[in-house]
Amino acid sequence: MIELQQLRENRDTLIERLQIRGYASAAEELDKVLSLDAERRRVITRLEGMRAEMNTVSKSIGRLIQEGKKEQAAAAQKKTGQMKEDIKFYEESLEKIEKEMDLILINVPNPPHPSVPKGKSAEDNEIVYRNDIEVTLPANAKPHWDLIKDLDIVSLDLGVKISGAGFPVYIGKGARLQRALIQYFLDEAEKAGYVEIQPPLMVNEASGYGTGQLPDKEGQMYHVQIDDLYLIPTAEVPITNLYRDTILKDSQLPVKNCGYTPCFRREAGSYGKHVRGLNRLHQFDKVEIVQVVEPEISYQVLDTMVEHVKGLLQNLGLPFRIALLCGGDMGFTSAKTFDMEVYSAAQEQWLEVSSISNFETFQSNRLKLRYKDADRQTRLPHTLNGSALALPRIFASILENNQNEDGSVTIPEVLRPYTRFDFIGRD
């Protein structure tokens, strides 16, 4: 959520930044908030004046009663009736104004960083990096949905039987490869200084709101209605919400956390070849990295997170590129996002395997996550996170890019200590 004080001071800049997303109604909505804010302050001034008066009268009544001056006390009590009504009236009108303000502010997306390119869709994203790994596939190369069947390492059909489409079952070496990737990613994150967290997989409404999934993505999360809990769509939600309603000391920054969790997404409205095989699932595994940092360094930190993920992909030997997302393709809560995309030669398409974002104060403001800076001022820190990495598409592209003529798949060097086998489909 954008900061009210920012809005008061930098209205024009914020509107300009929101234009990068093509957020057409920015000026209209923000001006509405500003006028409500002015009204709100007028009402508060009035209301607090009346409350102060009321408090004075109440105290004097107390004093009179103690002194035994009952008649004077009774006379004073009579006067309070109208005051109470006035106070109630202003309280109600204040509440109404604040609700109206919140309703608008909650639904305004994060203003993009000025370096974010304008644009409407993925086609306008800027490719800022591409590594030099080239893959030459055997003539009989297959997409992963065929490979998993041939090798009998993932069953989509069994998933359909016990759950539904989008819930794969990993079997044998498939399961072990999956676990190896998790272990490898976590080990690398810990080497980079991230503290591992194992969070709950269900969160309450306040948490969904804090990181911005609610109300924006209401329909995208699984909602367990009987207990009013949401299955997490990403570890970002529980791990960042750890710091909700918290004031950190500057010595506690930067916060660097990582965590492995399954992620649950309803993916309502998805269809076609993008959902084929492991490309898009209702449940998938992911290792997430999260940081809470001082605003001054957040964009340097964003770069280090990109470098971290780059290293993982490079070590896995996968061909990949990095896209700087344009305004129109960015998530609701992000100020700047880089996507990492792995090339799947067998599918002949780029698959998004990671998304790394700086949220600036958008989340910390909602979370009431603050810190005391060196001058003991309370400020909002910047929050960042990134996938490092999302498993299924990595799994798929390892299969596709490392397949051999005999139908087997070669395991990348770095994973072998974890898998304890070098090939799938060859013993």
Task: List residues near RNA by CB under 7 A.
Answer: 5, 41, 44-45, 47-49, 51-52, 54-55, 57-59, 61-63, 65-66, 77, 80-81, 84, 247, 370, 372, 378
Question: Least separation, in Å, of the C-beta of 41 and RNA?
Answer: 4
Q: What stretch of H or E contains 293? A: strand 283-293
Of 307, 362, 360, 337, which is closest to residue 115 (Cα–Cα)?
A: 337
Nearer to RNA (CB atom), residue 76 or residue 122: 76
The SS3 assignment for 88 reads helix
Nearer to RNA (CB atom), residue 62 or residue 215: 62
Q: What Å distances lie between residue 276 and 154, 308, 391, CA to CA?
A: 13, 29, 15
Nearer to RNA (CB atom), residue 185 or residue 209: 209
In this structure, what token pair is assigned to residue 386?
Answer: 């990134």
CB atoms within 10 A of CB 427: 6
In this structure, what token pair is assigned to residue 52?
Answer: 């102060």
Of 46, 305, 277, which is closest to residue 189 (Cα–Cα)?
A: 305
Question: Least separation, in Å, of the C-beta of 170 and RNA?
Answer: 22
Can you tell me the distance from the alpha carbon of 117 to that of 325, in angstroms, rounded to the nearest whole number? Answer: 7
Question: Least separation, in Å, of the C-beta of 124 and RNA?
Answer: 37
Do 364 and 381 form a contact (C-beta atoms < 8 A)? yes
Nearer to RNA (CB atom), residue 91 or residue 352: 91
HSE-CB for 375 with a 13 A CA cutoff: 2
Nearer to RNA (CB atom), residue 152 or residue 228: 228
Question: Least separation, in Å, of the C-beta of 84 and RNA?
Answer: 6
Can you tell me the distance from the alpha carbon of 24 to that of 19, in angstroms, rounded to the nearest whole number? Answer: 7
Q: What Å distances lie between residue 35 and 110, 163, 201, 373, 390, CA to CA?
A: 21, 51, 41, 32, 44
Nearer to RNA (CB atom), residue 225 or residue 378: 378
Question: Least separation, in Å, of the C-beta of 334 and RNA?
Answer: 24
Unique residue bearing structure tokens 């057409």: 24
Nearer to RNA (CB atom), residue 31 or residue 126: 31
Burial letters for 91-130: b for 16+ Cβ neighbours within 10 Å, e otherwise? eeebeebeeebeeebeebbbbbbeebeebeeeeebeeeee
In this structure, what token pair is assigned to residue 97?
Answer: 């104004």
Amino acid identity for residue 134 in this structure: E
Question: Least separation, in Å, of the C-beta of 262 and RNA?
Answer: 18
Q: Are strands 349-358 and 382-390 parallel, antiparallel or unpaired?
A: antiparallel
Nearer to RNA (CB atom), residue 11 or residue 276: 11
Nearer to RNA (CB atom), residue 250 or residue 352: 250
Of 322, 339, 316, which is closest to residue 401 (Cα–Cα)?
A: 316
Question: Least separation, in Å, of the C-beta of 129 and RNA?
Answer: 39
